[in-house]
Amino acid sequence: MCYIVIIIWFTMDQTNSFSNSEIQQSLDQAFDNLENLLKEKLSNNNNTLQNNETIALLNVEKNQLNQQLLEKINECNNWKVTCNEVINRLNTAIEGIRSILNKEQAGE
């Protein structure tokens, strides 16, 4: 269980300096490592059926987390587009105001 926390913490800690594809790759690698560790640990147990069910549930959770990550990436990209549109409109408004002020100063 400690491995799970460490892998997820390390992965989430690294997201600040990675691009979206690097985040996805890092998460995939972390979950693959986790899956391999679980398989290795659980292969030594006698409860193979229960262990396989646990792995299947973790794979489902991994897929859900990957989907959530993709949704957040898309949401972030949409906000970037929206922000750029607002910035462009503000720049246009500023240029209009600047033009008006320049005309007023020239008329004085």
- Work out the burial of residue 83: count CB atoms within 10 Å of its CB; fewer than 13 is exposed, 13-18 middle, 19 or more buried: exposed
What φ, ψ does residue 69 adopt, rounded to 5°?
Answer: -65, -45
pLDDT of residue 8: 52
- What is the reported pLDDT for 1? 46
pLDDT value, residue 107 = 77
Residue 20 CB neighbour total at 10 angstroms: 15
Q: What is the pLDDT of residue 5?
A: 46
The domain segmentation of the chain, as residue ranges, is 2-107
For 67, the token pair is 């989907």
pLDDT, mean of each 10-residue run, the chain (108 residues): 49 55 80 81 70 87 92 94 95 93 84
Give pLDDT, residue 106: 85
Give me the DSSP letters along 39-90.
Answer: HHHHHTSS-HHHHHHHHHHHHHHHHHHHHHHHHHHHHHHHHHHHHHHHHHHH
Q: 3-state DSSP call for residue 18?
A: coil
